[in-house]
Chain A
């Protein structure tokens, strides 16, 4: 990695990121928390008139600025690589943030709550249209009705190549398996190009 400055010997890790997307309340921050080596951090981006297309301000009546909260976690892969996990802002009006989150990302996990399948449609559309590798992870909440992977795939009208996994976002091993699934999917996509 190249750094500006006079002391070129200092090494700084390469940063990579994975986006955890999905509708409001699907467990994005829970998943980040279950695998992150630090408690999830929160940072805020300011949305201003200048920073976003006018159309995107619909729904923020009477307010010139608002903040978008981003929750994220970190996994130090080794001394040279660090992985960041970003939960997407829940509200759809913050699409402009998604572009920055998705740029250069390994890929995305779209978390799905089967009780509210439709809340995941915007996320799936976003990554499909931008050609960003993604997998669907069904967060099996306590007491929520269980569906098979095929039923979810059919209900979401997913392409056959998109992996669908069942998970428990609270469980570290389960969330880890989802990340492994995504990285493998991204590698397969890369190999297929």
Chain B
């Protein structure tokens, strides 16, 4: 990174350096529509993982069960934007499956299911 791209490398950046090194400075995920609650899951036909970074493999292990983007970020302890970039890599490879719909307001049946579920906790 050179010139205007390295403006954030100041004292305040601190722990940001490592997460951004993970994604080689990328801050724009290729896969759009990764929202906080978007569900992601490792494909059961994942490709050879030897070329993946440690962080990518951690995500694959986490996503053995469906998780939200926010949960993956929290468990990996990296900022959301970083996890979105890492997830985009895996989605492009076909190793991670993703919910394609953007969040929309739940319909009556879904609300009823949520109501029943919350009453049951």
Contact = CB atoms under 8 A, between A and B. Distances in A.
Contacts of A75: 117-118, 121
Given A43-B80, A84-B36, A187 B115 contact: yes
Interface stretch (A98-106, A116-124, A152-160): A98-106
Contacts, number: 163
Describe A's contact surface by its main secondary structure: mixed
B66 interface: yes
Interface residues of A, number: 56
A57 to B, nearest CB: 14
A58 interface: no
B35 interface: yes
B39 interface: yes
A15 B38 contact: yes
A63 B13 CA distance: 9
Interface of B: 7-8, 10, 12-13, 16, 27, 35-41, 43-45, 66, 68, 70-71, 73-75, 79-81, 91, 94, 97-108, 110-119, 121
